[in-house]
Amino acid sequence: FTIHCPHPLTGLKILVTTSPQHPSVPALLRRIYECYADYALKNPFHTPEMPIRSELFDRHLLEIVK
């Protein structure tokens, strides 16, 4: 397996493990970060560095990784 961890300016660390043959990891990481930005960062009730408690985030994240 391969571990991927981008370092965006927000400081968020997203860890993704994939098989070495997985072709589009950068695109996958970009979509996961966009999901985080849309459903956590734009949520006025979300506190940074706290667990993300959003049903919409969970649902869209599952759609991305399937």
Please report the pLDDT score of residue 23 as a whole number. 81
pTM > 0.75: yes or no = yes
For 35, list phi and psi in degrees, rounded to 5. -60, -45
User: How high does pLDDT run on average in the chain?
Assistant: 88
For 3, list phi and psi in degrees, rounded to 5. -105, 130
What pLDDT digit, counting tens, does each position of 28-43 carry? 889 999 999 999 888 8
Contact 49, 40 (CB under 8 A): no
Residues 51-56 have a mean pLDDT of 90
Residue type, 61: L
Confidence of residue 6 (pLDDT cuts 50, 70, 90): confident
